[in-house]
Every structure is written in structure tokens, then in C-alpha cells.
Structure 1
Amino acid sequence: MKAEEQTSTNGGRDQRYDLLVPLDIPASVDFIGRSARHPIALNVEIGFSFAGWDASFHRLEQTAYLIIRVNCGESDLEVRLRTVLHRLSWAAARLDISMRPVQTPIKIVSSGGHVDLAHISAFPAGETPLASVRHDSYSVGLPVTVLSDAVAEVPEEYPFSEALRVFSDVDFEVSLAARFINLSTIIELIAARAERDPQARDLLKKWIDEANALGRNDLANALDTMRVEPISAAIARMVEEAARTANCSEEEVAELKKRARTAYRRRSSVLHEGK
């Protein structure tokens, strides 16, 4: 998300900026808390800490947005924004809430300017810009402190970033089928497929070489995909490991693995047969 050309003519190289990030949040979700600047709150302002930065949660005409006091130069805005988006994805998964930031370039706004809530904006640090909305998006009230806690402890390196991104989209899908497919996709993304045993790998290499020698690249490619276990086996193994970690009984482990296999077959039926 590269920053768009600055609209201000009075900002120099020493200008510092804060970020405004609009959020799509399901209508059934809201945060509750107190303004950090009471009694001069703007747009239902609720103050909290965002990973050490002062921040506030706002609503305007059913649209939610965050102001995060990153206080950085223009050259550092992209890095700060990536950190913000990563932590929001993590928080959404921890809280089981779909929070989807708008996906736009950063629009830099001049001092005293208005921000459009269809865009991520950077504005002069310390100011509180006036916001306008051109779209609808946005009540379980949660203390805003849970959002603060959820964004506070995020791993620097997380192998399932794409799964988090997909999770943020789930509640915005129109149909139950689409939601089910998205949730199934998340399971696929986090299920690590193990390599087959050495004997199987040796056999596959032999067959691949024979297929290539006969000019059957189609067969060679199909055999190559068999070097790792099927995704259904990887999902079943992941479910079993999670169930045993949760101290489930053997009967419960078996039932959960059965449900996982059934759900995966259902996903394939929806995707490939439309039913």
C-alpha cells in the first residue's frame, strides 16, 4: 500500500504523521469504553493502547475506524501500517471477530484536512482529523481493553498470515456456503503436509523418472504431488494433535477426526459439484 502523493504543501521532511485505518466490522460487534480526551470526544471516541501506541476507536454513521498515534515520518508509514494490519489480523483471530481494514494506499492529508473513510489516511501527528463517509459498513459490546490486549502480544514471525487474512473476511461473505468454504480454506492453510516415508519417496522418484522417459509429463507431475501426504490426512493429523493437547478421550479424538473428514468432503462437494 504505497502512499499517494501528499496533498499538503506545508509539510516538510520533518513532518510527523499518525494513521487513520477504517474497519469493516459486523453489525453485531461493537467496542465499549471511555474517551481518552473526555469531554471532547469525536465520533464516539474510545481510547485504548494499540501495541504501545496511543489509539482510539471511533464510529461515524455505522462506519468504524481507528486512529493510531504512530508519530512517524512519511518514509516510515508503510512499515508502521504493515505492523498495524498484522496485529489487527492476529487480534481478529484471538477475539473471533472479523475486522477487515480497508485495502487502499495511504492517502496523506494536510493539516486541518478532512479524511475519507473509504481510504487509509495519514495526517499530521497530534491532530484529530474530521472524517466523512461515503459507504456503509458497521452492535455484543466488548470492553475496548480486549482489543488493546489482543494487539499487544503478536509474534514477529507468524507462518499463518494468509489464514488470518482469510479469517477476517469470513463474516462478510453473503452465503453460508461461502463462509464454510472460507473456514475450510483456513484449515487447509494451517495444516502442514508431511513428507511420505523414505521407501515411498524412492518409489515415487523411480516412477517419475520412468514417466519422464516416456514423455508422460502429465503422469510425472501427478506423481510429484504425491511426495507429501494428502491434505485430508494432514487435517486429520492436525485435529488429532489438537484434541490430544486438549486432553480429549480416545472416543472424542476419533469423533473429531471423523467430523474433520466429513467437513472436508463437504467442502469438495460444494466447490466441485455445487452442492
Structure 2
Amino acid sequence: MGAEVDEDPDLCRQLTEAVKRGSDLPVIAKISPNLSSMVPAVKGCLAGGADGFSLIDTVRSVTDVDLEKNVALPNINGKSAVSGLSGKAVKPIALHFLQELRSAAGLEKLQIAGIGGIETWEDAAEYLLMGATTVQVTTAIMQYGYRIVDDLKNGMMHFMEEKGVDHLSDLVGLANKNVVPTSQLDRDYKVYPKIDWDKCIGCGRCFISCQDGAHQAMGWDDEKRLPTFDKSKCVGCQLCALVCPVHAIKLGLVEMKPGRKGDPDKIDVGSQRLPRYHSVQN
């Protein structure tokens, strides 16, 4: 029902007004991610007097199917229902909606509690950098108990000390300005993979993935039982690095594409950390 209300900004306004009439406490509206855009729902709640927002709620889903019983899980006496997915799987969706609201005109100053898959201090830091003013944790508490809050606080404390940050509020939204339309991304260069042979275990995952899912730049040496690399075929997709189970493949040589101008030495390739989920535009 909540998702259906979110689809109608006027209903969002009416329900928020009703709640505000019944309480003097701050009202925080929780927004469903089962929308193409949260902006209309958020503006409707703001018109009704909402003081802040929490996002995201669970994502409509069917997570598994029992192949013997032909019933979606969980099996409730032979039947199931479309339900809500939470936890680590919804984190990328939540970060996307944070970015959407922070980049929408007139919504830059919203008080937002970020929710979805926060298990470590790094997760919490990512939410703050993407514009959350506070974070909420539920699934991780179910798995690890309340002690995880101490882990989050301790990790964040060391991170802030390392970065010279005095207040959490100084981190809020620092990453928003660096998210741009795909048409504005710099595509004039590519980055080749670099293999750390001391770490490589010769599992062959990079070879298989590149052969079957990329551009066949990774070969295989049957005698040494190790991958080989053909730079002339590589397009810099980094699929090999994403599938390596021991992180033996890092970002290596940077080159400008033929006919493109630029200084490879000035290209920012980040801290060598690759995304956990492969994004199609990259």
C-alpha cells in the first residue's frame, strides 16, 4: 500500500498532513524505491509538512523459487507472495535515489536518513558522501546484533581522523557533485589491467571471463598454468579485475585512445578500487 501511495504526490501530501495533525513530533516520510523517480513523492510529502525522509524502503521482489514444490519462497502452506527485498542487495538502488534527490532542484537541503545494506563503516561513509545526513541499520542488526553499531562508530572515527574531518556533517554530499550524466564522462582514455604475479593463483577466472564475456585479451599458458595478456585486444573493461577472487589484477597503464588528446599522467583512476557491481556504461 505504501508503494501505491508514493505513486500519487497528492496522496503523499494528504497522509503527511494527517500525521502532522496528530503529533507534535517531527514526521519522517519513508519513500518506496518501487518508483521511476522519488522526486514527485518527496515534493508531495514536503507540501504536507514532512520534516525529513528515510530511504529506501524494501524493493518488490521474488527472491527464490522451490524447484520441487513450484512455490516462490518463503513457502507459506503452499503459497507465497511478492514481498520486499532488503539488505546488501538494495544498497546500489538506495545510493542512486540519494543522488537523485540531492541533484533535484530545491531538494538539496533535505534531511535524509539513508537505509539499505549498511553493514560496515565503509557502507555508512558511502551513504554520507552520497548525501544522507544520518543512516539506519536493520538487516545487519538481525545478522550480527547491536554490537555492530560499535564497529560502525569505531571505523568511522578512524576514517575521520585519517581524513582530518571534525564532524560527520562535513562528509555529507561530497560525492554528489562528481556524479554526472553518462554523456559527460571522459571516454578519451582506457586503462589496461596489471597482474600481480605474486598474488595470482592461476585459477583461470580472468581467462574464462575475458574469452566468453569480453574481448579475448586474456589467454592461457597451458605449461605454466597461468593467464597471458594481449594488450592489442584489450579495451580496458576491467572485467578480469572484477572477477579475480584474490585481487591480483589492478588498474595499470593508462593510454589515450587513438585520435584523442590528453595527458595520461594526469588521468585520475582513483584508489584502485573497482565497483562491486559492474556498471554497463563503464
Per the normalisation by structure 2, the TM-score is 0.28
Q: Which has the higher helix share?
A: 1
> Which structure's relative contact order is higher, taking Cα pairs within 8 Å and 6+ residues apart?
1
Per the normalisation by structure 1, the TM-score is 0.29
